[in-house]
Each structure stands twice: as C-alpha cells, then as structure tokens.
Amino acid sequence: MVRILFVCMGNICRSPVAEGVFRRMLEGAGLNEKIYVDSAGTHSYHTGAPPDPRSQATALRRDIDLRDLRARRVTVADFAQFDYVLAMDRENLDHLLALCGDPGLRRRIQLFLDYAPHLPEREVPDPYYGGPNGFERVMDLIEEAAEGLLVDIRRRYRI
C-alpha cells in the first residue's frame, strides 16, 4: 500500500483539504484500497481539532466532507511510515527536513506543488488570516497538484 501524508502548519486548513481532495480522487479511481492518505501539522496548536470551518465550507461546496478529520502533529515515525510526505510551503518543508533524522528518508519529503509544475505558484498559501477567496484558491491549487500526484503514483507503482 502506498502511503501519503499531507503537511501544513496546524493541520486545520490546507493539509486536511488535501487529504479530503485526494481521498475523493482515489475513490473515483477505485484506488482507495491501494493508497492510504493522512494529514498532519508541523505544530501542535490545534491537536484534536476539526478542520477550520472555512476549509470545511469550501470543501463541502465541492462535495468533500472533512468533518470527521482531526488535527495531529507530525511525528518522527511518520517519515518511515509514509512514502510521500508533502509540505504545503517552504517553511513547513524546512521544518520537516530538520525533524527527519534519517538522511535516507529525506527524499520522501517535498513540496506538494511539485506535482503541478505548470502552475506559477510553488507553495500553497496559508488562507487562515484571509477571506473566502483565499480558501477557494487553496482548493484550486490542491486539486491541480492532487491530479499530478495521482499520475506519479500510478506511474511509479503501476497501479
């Protein structure tokens, strides 16, 4: 089973949206039994909390239900357990690289938008302090990168 971990700062805005978007894609492709998806935050500010209500509302408008998700902090064990550890921005990428003690596992850590090279953005911006348009843009970016990620997984694992 291929294992994917999406990571942002608090695990209440971007990474749970990515988890929800990718799960929906996997269900549509009939791959939800072959690929495991989770999300986490680099900080523990919101551990145990559901996704931000604005993220939930944005996702629901696209028929993605996030209400059962709960925030957690990334752990050192995650680097060995997940095949892909995908950071939403460079700050979180740097935090993950510093936390990962095993140089051999660092290759699993990368920016999520690396899977959408056609986009001008290289990072998924944090919408927390912004308005509804920011949450919509985050959703758009995540959907684009999720498509590229699925193509990569299918090619790499021949599934």
Do the Cβ atoms of 34 and 150 come closer than 8 Å? no
- Give the active site residue among 8, 54, 100, 108: 8
- Rounded to whole angstroms, the Cα distance separating 110 from 96 reads 9
- Rounded to whole angstroms, the Cα distance separating 116 from 137 reads 14
- Is residue 126 flagged as an active site residue? yes
Pairing of strands 35-41, 109-111: unpaired
* Cβ neighbourhood burial of 96 (10 Å; 0-12, 13-18, 19+): buried
- Give the active site residue among 13, 14, 38, 100: 14
- Is residue 14 flagged as an active site residue? yes
99 CB-near residues (< 8 Å, 6+ apart): 42, 74, 76, 79
- Give the active site residue among 38, 52, 78, 126: 126
- Is residue 8 flagged as an active site residue? yes
CA distances from 47 to 9, 10, 40, 159 (A): 11, 8, 9, 34
- Rounded to whole angstroms, the Cα distance separating 27 from 146 reads 13
Active site residues: 8, 14, 126
